[in-house]
Structure 1
Amino acid sequence: MCSDCISERSGSVAAAEILRTRRKRGRTARGRSSKMSRLRTRLEPLGLQDLRWRCDPATLGFETTDEVRPLDGFVGQERGVSAIELALRISEPDYNVVVAGAAGTGRTSVTLDLLRKAAVARPASSDWCYLHSFREPDRPIAVELPAGKGPELAADLHELIEQCRADLPSLIDPDDGKHALPDIAMLAVGQRLAALRTKYAPIPGVVRHIDAIQENLSQRVKSSRAAEARSGAGALGPPIWTRFEANVFVTQDPAAGAPVVCEPNPTFPNLVGRIDYRPSPVGMDADFRSMRAGAIQRANGGYLVMNARDLLANRSAYGALKRALREGAVTVESPPDENAALPVAALRPEPIPLRIRVELIGDPGLYTLLRNRDEGVARLFTVKAEFTPSVDRTAPAIQAYASFIARSVRTHGLLRFSADAVARVIEEGAGLAEDRDRLTAQLGLVKDLLVESDATARARAQQTVRAVDVAEALDARGRRSDLIEEELQRLIDQGVVAIETDSKVVGQVNGLAVRELGDYAFARPTRITARTGPGFEGVLDIERQTHLSGPSHTKGVLTLEGYLLGKYGQRQPLALTARLTFEQTYGGVDGDSASSPELYAVLSSLGEVPIDQGIAVTGSVDQRGDVQAIGGVNEKVEGHFVVCKARGLTGHQGVIIPKANVRNLMLDPEVIDAVAAGKFHVWAVTSIDEGIELLTGVPAGQAQNDGTYPPESVHGRVQGRLAAYAENLERYGRPPQSSPNGRSRIAKTRRPAR
């Protein structure tokens, strides 16, 4: 046979082979398309009902808040309220309370309401006065009196002084030395002393003070120290009459019940009192009149409320509070300045017995933190009152929300709210709770929205706040805080920050990162890329190598190795080196919500299957490949939607989220409208297999009896690539071994055979 015939036959055979190959590929492609169609049927995008819960205004039962009874009480804080009420029923001294809850949950207002109701049912606390000690002038005497009697005692002693000035001129008039010194008992002042002694007979401390006054007057009359007596002042001391006075340290209203004191600035002097020093010829002087009460003394016999973090910021104040509670007494302490230029007189006032209930209000983890760091907290603060940040979205809770709105309208003088406006506010309550089945209990945030919605309606010259006003107030709130988000979006639009949304790329996926800006949070896609090759280093996170990875993110990356080992490392060693990174991020990265997109990028690189860049991904993953819930799901979906919208919605774009996060979806109405029009999608997955099929359009593949996967599946391709890596490494070298001293010993590389 001639060579031309051979060539012709060979060409015919080759053509036939190509044709068979094309037919086979066509059948394979149709098979894949059929499989993918079935996959898409099984993993349909979420329906509109899954993307947002809507409150129907018709179910509220009113037209405006004028028809709603204002809330009398609280919303969903039964656990915390019962704990506080328990502490109020117990009379033992150490049952102080730590109220733990997020700001805006009513932790302060509810606590104060409960305390004030309990205080009204209790008797008024005692007055306390400090009197001069004639025996020990540096140790003022503390005297307890019935409520309201402190000012009365001060007035009686003032009248006594005036009587002394009238009856004993020889003690104050330097020109009156020729008069005979009278007998005090025979003067009107003596009669007044007797009357005071009778009036205050039930109070031994006052009687002793009156006796001391009479004795002091008698001694001065008999001493013939005319100069001192006529001047009314000692050489080194204050005028004699001031020693007779009473310092009304604490006074209470007899009709007001027990005191409830809320100290906003718990510094040391504000808490335990202070001593006011005044200049004198010999230095800085002070006496019993210089003492001022602190919050502890004013709340004695009642309740003291403070913010825990403000208290802990003043270590000396915190220590003084613990000491007072532990000892059951409080002493005015105002340590003099050691660097003072002049000598300072020191006072040692008598302590006041303490009967008080303290409520510290703080963040949820504060009680645990205090117990772990301070063993005395467990004994002094026995009760923990927890305030929940959200409540179940039940019919009573919705009605309570409406009643709260009605109360706020009346309390703050707002315009009435229509039923649709109330429904929109309740929907926002579910959004703030990040759970469609719950409502936020941080009613302080809800109140702020009501005030802003009222301002919006007034600007439109409306008489009633409607849903459109609430929506506009929410938009305006976002615009006040979205400057950084706007700048980042501009960089994406200009291509400075590279984000692809309409192509397919191997080893690259759009993850979603939330950025927290105080009271504002937003998300944008972030390119996550993976490069793989043969080796034994495993999965290396570039962020971790550059110290930009937080512990949660590092844990998520290490989890990927466990998945790869369990999936592909059972038949042969896992001969893999992979590099993962967040492209164009220059700050810290934390959280494990990127672990599933990172795994998708690694699988795509190993299997050489391109990933649809129009689909962004979020979700944590465990070592078995199960996709787990994450935070910020609404911000992440909306963030990717904004980028896709700016470039034009194609109908193929969307976001993959964990199925466990479906209950957290309360998406913006604009996203809902795009989904309804078929221009955007949200998928919910439970496993890596479901996610990789959506991203690549290639079946993930199921393990066969021998542990292998179908060659054309994602897992089959990855398994084949890893087998090739292992074979190449076997030919070219061995993995690092450990030497006896624990150091790494690198094996020598064998040259390939020629």
Structure 2
Amino acid sequence: MKKSPLSPSQLYKSCNLGQLNFTSTEELEDLELLVGQERAMEAIKFGIRIRKSGYNIFAMAPDGTGKLTTVKQLAEHEASRQPVPFDWCYVHNFSQPAKPTAIHLEPGQGRGFQRDMAELIDELSVAIPAAFDGDEYRSRAGELESESRQREATEINRLREEAEQARIIFTETATGYAFLPADENNEPLTPEQFNKLDKEQQHKFHETVLDLQERVQAAIKKFPVWRKETKRKLQALNREVAELAVNHSIDELKEKYAKWQPVLNYLNAVQKDIIEHVRDFIPHSEKVLSFMELPQDPNPFKRYQVNLMVDRSQKRSAPVVCEDLPNYGNLLGRIDHQAHMGSLVTDFTMIKPGAFHKANGGYLIIDARKVLMQPYAWETLKRTLQSGEIRIESLERALSLISTSSLEPEPIPLEIKVILLGDPLIYYLLSFYDPEFQDFFKIAADFAESVDRKNNSMEYARLLATIARREKLKPLSQQAVARVIEHSARMSGDAEKLLTHLRSIKDLLTESDYWATENSHTHIAQSDVQQAIDQKIHRLDKVRERLYQTIQRGTIMIATDGKVIGQINGLSVLQLGEFAFGQPSRITATTRMGNGKVVDIERETELGGAIHSKGVLILSSFIASRYARSTPFSLSASLVFEQSYGHVEGDSASLAELCAILSSLAQIPLRQDLAMTGSVNQLGLVQPIGGVNEKIEGFFDVCSAKGLTGTQGVIIPASNVPYLMLRWDVVHAAESGQFHIYAVSTVDQALELLSDCEVGEADQQGQYPPATFNGKIDAQLRQFTSLKLAFGGKESDADKGN
């Protein structure tokens, strides 16, 4: 019985306006999360709340589906229930300056601690110079120096008196001390006078001078010891004065941070260092003591600063951080350098935080593709999660490319939940190629690319209202929402589904808003949405237009009327960026006596893919199993896509190819006003294919350009009927009887439509009625078998004769 075409209601599933209880989207509330993503949201909530190592999350969805917004909302909702984590800062390590110390404080205390240390140094910068500039200090320091000088002078004077008694003049010179003999009047003797003295007197003078020189040398050796002793006394005095100036201010801070032992340890080290380097607090212009006149660091107080790495003073919950550029430095942090006298120098104040620092105690959201594209970022991410601490070091040092001295900041403990966003393909590739991946990302949140259309129209309308408000677009009318829902089903490729790709929806609403403005509409109307759809197609359909022109001019041969043996119109889809369209292709088949092989010319020329070749092999299996179960399969057939100059892939043309072969076998012509798509299995059942809407519309456009005859149409698999969301002009043509869409479930149904001939069923003996399509195929194959046997016998007789 011949199949009837599908009714117009089966070609397009309109939106039920009765389900949209509003006039415009102004009346609708915002929708916080995506429609129909319960599975993914449950997985994310589970991954966020479980506090075990390795239970990080990989959110799987193509770009533009809104997964970032959803993940961020869920993470922020969970973060709002958690306490604010610690502030973190780096301070100078006075015992090991190359290894700065990490200190954590209560949220918001880091800024206060930084300010307290700055105020402490400012206060001491005034208090210490004032203490050393006081009268009491000057008096005590002067007494110590005077006592030291007096002690040296007393020793020298005693030696001078003894020299005078021995008639020796004791004088100081530029190079030391000198001794000269003197007369009774204590006047120095000239060399002539000294030579006139007798030998005994000269010898006595020599002995006395040598004795005095030895005693002077002994006294001079005591002076450094006495000066060191004086210096120690001065240092003790300085320490005493410094402690009086410092201790009061430091003690106040110690009392304030009494509960934080790391801060107390640091303050004790600061106190000790300030007292030891008290000269740094004395301005250059005030040279109080000689030992304070040593060269000073241009910024001696820098080591007392606090490098606040993480400030939570403005936070009210755990952090949620989205890192847009997850490279090595942005994840771990970095140590900056500055040029100084031709070299690069650094210190603990130049340590900069990374995303791990900012998100520590909360959630870090990263795009998987971006982190995989950054050198060493992926390995750094895994190593940091495994160690549970943030260790800042330069990439060159981590790779052992340099061995120069640098800072080694103390690692900071890490408690974080990482959420990766990426395409499902990335997840599966990482799972396959990285053996460590499942150790760190145990939770997969799989976002659906579409949701059920049934009972979700109002939720989808709320989604449209939310997007319109966030993007500051005009509200949508009820009819506009219905049109968007219908187009969403079309974009999803399934009349019973709605697309969840938010970027595509937002683009459609943005363009509709533009046309609403151009058309002076206060609300986005249905016509504005349709105009946006049409204009986008117009921008992208140059290739389609030129291809259809070549078909119309006969350059590419596609027949839309008449009947031809072994020839059929197949349908394929071309995807060019965001735009896809159907392309009719002529498929031809030839048959002859042979050894049961079906030659796929596309495969033989390496233009056919593996799936297409599989489909062709299935055809030969079907023909042999149906028509040659008890006889040799004596058929050779050739298949080709005419005027195909590119790669052919997929099995959606296998039904058309089978019909072309059977037509050639039975020598029954096939209708050229029908095109066909669908795959077939070994049992002759027709299977669904993709791109059904574009394929139908492609053949319709070709027929329209050549002129609709009222008999033209497309044959599709019956299982594809629920996916139909055809253009309105196609639906109207079907409604007026100008174009027809047939749905088939078996090869026999397709043959009957194409040939207008009864297909025929086998009787109990496996015989088909002779006048039917199958009967003629069976008869032709039997003839091939007889001819093959006859040729085989003649060849044997010829061999015997020889």
With normalisation by structure 1, the TM-score equals 0.86
User: Residue 655 of structure 2 corresponds to which residue in structure 1?
Assistant: 596
Deviation at 1:687, TM superposition (A): 0.6
The answer on 1:100 being equivalent to 2:60 is yes
User: Residue 325 of structure 1 corresponds to which residue in structure 2?
Assistant: 385
| Of 314, 320, 339, the match for 1:279 | 339
Structure 1 letter corresponding to 2:556: V
Classify 1:631/1:72 alpha carbon distance in 2 versus 1 (closer, same or farther; 3 Å).
same
Structure 1 letter corresponding to 2:517: R
Structure 1 letter corresponding to 2:670: I
SS of the residue corresponding to residue 395 of structure 2 reads coil
User: Residue 12 of structure 1 corresponds to which residue in structure 2?
Assistant: none
Deviation at 1:752, TM superposition (A): 13
User: Residue 461 of structure 1 corresponds to which residue in structure 2?
Assistant: 520
Deviation at 1:622, TM superposition (A): 0.5
User: Residue 420 of structure 2 corresponds to which residue in structure 1?
Assistant: 360
| Of 597, 601, 625, the match for 2:684 | 625
Residues 383-392 or 437-446, more deviating: 437-446
Structure 2 letter corresponding to 1:218: I
SS of the residue corresponding to residue 594 of structure 2 reads coil
Classify 1:227/1:283 alpha carbon distance in 2 versus 1 (closer, same or farther; 3 Å).
farther
Residues 701-710 or 647-656, more deviating: 701-710
The answer on 1:391 being equivalent to 2:451 is yes
User: Residue 26 of structure 1 corresponds to which residue in structure 2?
Assistant: none
Classify 1:372/1:337 alpha carbon distance in 2 versus 1 (closer, same or farther; 3 Å).
closer
Deviation at 1:172, TM superposition (A): 14
The answer on 1:473 being equivalent to 2:532 is yes
Classify 1:187/1:546 alpha carbon distance in 2 versus 1 (closer, same or farther; 3 Å).
farther
SS of the residue corresponding to residue 465 of structure 1 reads coil
1:353-400 C-alpha deviation (Å, 9 max, x unpaired)? 1111111112234433322222322232222222112222223x1111
User: Residue 232 of structure 1 corresponds to which residue in structure 2?
Assistant: 296
In the TM superposition, what are the counterparts of 1:635-674 in structure 2 within 5 Å?
635-674=694-733
Classify 1:258/1:640 alpha carbon distance in 2 versus 1 (closer, same or farther; 3 Å).
same
User: Residue 211 of structure 1 corresponds to which residue in structure 2?
Assistant: 268
The answer on 1:155 being equivalent to 2:115 is yes
1:710-733 C-alpha deviation (Å, 9 max, x unpaired)? 222222222222223233333445
Verify the 8 A CA contact 2:331 2:355 in the aligned structure 1.
yes
User: Residue 49 of structure 1 corresponds to which residue in structure 2?
Assistant: 9
Deviation at 1:534, TM superposition (A): 2.1
| Of 252, 256, 261, the match for 1:199 | 256
Structure 2 letter corresponding to 1:85: K
Classify 1:60/1:484 alpha carbon distance in 2 versus 1 (closer, same or farther; 3 Å).
same
Verify the 8 A CA contact 2:396 2:402 in the aligned structure 1.
no
Deviation at 1:487, TM superposition (A): 1.6
Deviation at 1:510, TM superposition (A): 0.9
In the TM superposition, what are the counterparts of 1:115-134 in structure 2 within 5 Å?
115-134=75-94
In the TM superposition, what are the counterparts of 1:703-742 in structure 2 within 5 Å?
703-733=762-792
Verify the 8 A CA contact 2:242 2:278 in the aligned structure 1.
no
1:13-35 C-alpha deviation (Å, 9 max, x unpaired)? xxxxxxxxxxxxxxxxxxxxxxx
Verify the 8 A CA contact 2:246 2:271 in the aligned structure 1.
no
Verify the 8 A CA contact 1:528 1:597 in the aligned structure 2.
yes
SS of the residue corresponding to residue 632 of structure 2 reads coil
Deviation at 1:649, TM superposition (A): 0.4
Structure 1 letter corresponding to 2:313: D
Name the CA distance, whole Å, in 1 between partners of 2:28 and 2:270. 66
Name the CA distance, whole Å, in 1 between partners of 2:290 and 2:415. 48
Deviation at 1:646, TM superposition (A): 0.3
Cα RMSD for the two superposed structures? 3.0
User: Residue 299 of structure 1 corresponds to which residue in structure 2?
Assistant: 359
Classify 1:385/1:225 alpha carbon distance in 2 versus 1 (closer, same or farther; 3 Å).
farther
1:557-603 C-alpha deviation (Å, 9 max, x unpaired)? 12112212211221212122222121222221111111111111111
Deviation at 1:168, TM superposition (A): 4.9
Name the CA distance, whole Å, in 2 between partners of 1:501 and 1:433. 30
Verify the 8 A CA contact 1:284 1:345 in the aligned structure 2.
no
1:443-499 C-alpha deviation (Å, 9 max, x unpaired)? 332222222111111101112222111111110111111111112112212222121
Name the CA distance, whole Å, in 2 between partners of 1:221 and 1:170. 12
Verify the 8 A CA contact 2:19 2:458 in the aligned structure 1.
no
Verify the 8 A CA contact 1:130 1:141 in the aligned structure 2.
yes
SS of the residue corresponding to residue 424 of structure 1 reads helix
Structure 1 letter corresponding to 2:108: G
User: Residue 444 of structure 1 corresponds to which residue in structure 2?
Assistant: 503
Classify 1:126/1:728 alpha carbon distance in 2 versus 1 (closer, same or farther; 3 Å).
same
Q: How many residues align?
A: 694
The answer on 1:67 being equivalent to 2:27 is yes
Deviation at 1:261, TM superposition (A): 0.2
Deviation at 1:310, TM superposition (A): 1.6
Residues 365-374 or 215-224, more deviating: 215-224
Structure 2 letter corresponding to 1:468: S
Name the CA distance, whole Å, in 1 between partners of 2:738 and 2:398. 74
In the TM superposition, what are the counterparts of 1:174-573 in structure 2 within 5 Å?
182-183=238-239, 185-220=242-277, 230-233=294-297, 239-253=299-313, 255-281=315-341, 283-314=343-374, 316-336=376-396, 344-395=404-455, 397-536=456-595, 538-573=597-632
In the TM superposition, what are the counterparts of 1:132-171 in structure 2 within 5 Å?
132-168=92-128
Name the CA distance, whole Å, in 1 between partners of 2:648 and 2:675. 18
Classify 1:465/1:88 alpha carbon distance in 2 versus 1 (closer, same or farther; 3 Å).
same
SS of the residue corresponding to residue 242 of structure 1 reads helix
Structure 2 letter corresponding to 1:162: D
Verify the 8 A CA contact 1:655 1:682 in the aligned structure 2.
yes
Structure 2 letter corresponding to 1:68: L
Name the CA distance, whole Å, in 2 between partners of 1:376 and 1:229. 61
Unaligned runs of 5+ in 2: 143-233, 281-287
Verify the 8 A CA contact 1:524 1:643 in the aligned structure 2.
no
Classify 1:226/1:482 alpha carbon distance in 2 versus 1 (closer, same or farther; 3 Å).
farther
User: Residue 13 of structure 1 corresponds to which residue in structure 2?
Assistant: none
Name the CA distance, whole Å, in 2 between partners of 1:225 and 1:483. 89
Verify the 8 A CA contact 2:474 2:523 in the aligned structure 1.
yes
Verify the 8 A CA contact 1:732 1:749 in the aligned structure 2.
no
Name the CA distance, whole Å, in 2 between partners of 1:748 and 1:452. 78
Name the CA distance, whole Å, in 2 between partners of 1:240 and 1:748. 111
1:50-87 C-alpha deviation (Å, 9 max, x unpaired)? 10011132442222223333334431111111112222
SS of the residue corresponding to residue 557 of structure 1 reads helix
Classify 1:172/1:110 alpha carbon distance in 2 versus 1 (closer, same or farther; 3 Å).
farther
Deviation at 1:334, TM superposition (A): 1.6
Name the CA distance, whole Å, in 2 between partners of 1:63 and 1:678. 35
User: Residue 176 of structure 2 corresponds to which residue in structure 1?
Assistant: none
Name the CA distance, whole Å, in 2 between partners of 1:172 and 1:359. 59
Deviation at 1:433, TM superposition (A): 2.2
Structure 2 letter corresponding to 1:586: Y
1:208-254 C-alpha deviation (Å, 9 max, x unpaired)? 22222232233345999989974432xxxx84322221211111235
SS of the residue corresponding to residue 461 of structure 2 reads helix
Deviation at 1:124, TM superposition (A): 0.8
Classify 1:750/1:731 alpha carbon distance in 2 versus 1 (closer, same or farther; 3 Å).
farther
Verify the 8 A CA contact 2:66 2:501 in the aligned structure 1.
yes
Deviation at 1:282, TM superposition (A): 6.9
With normalisation by structure 2, the TM-score equals 0.81
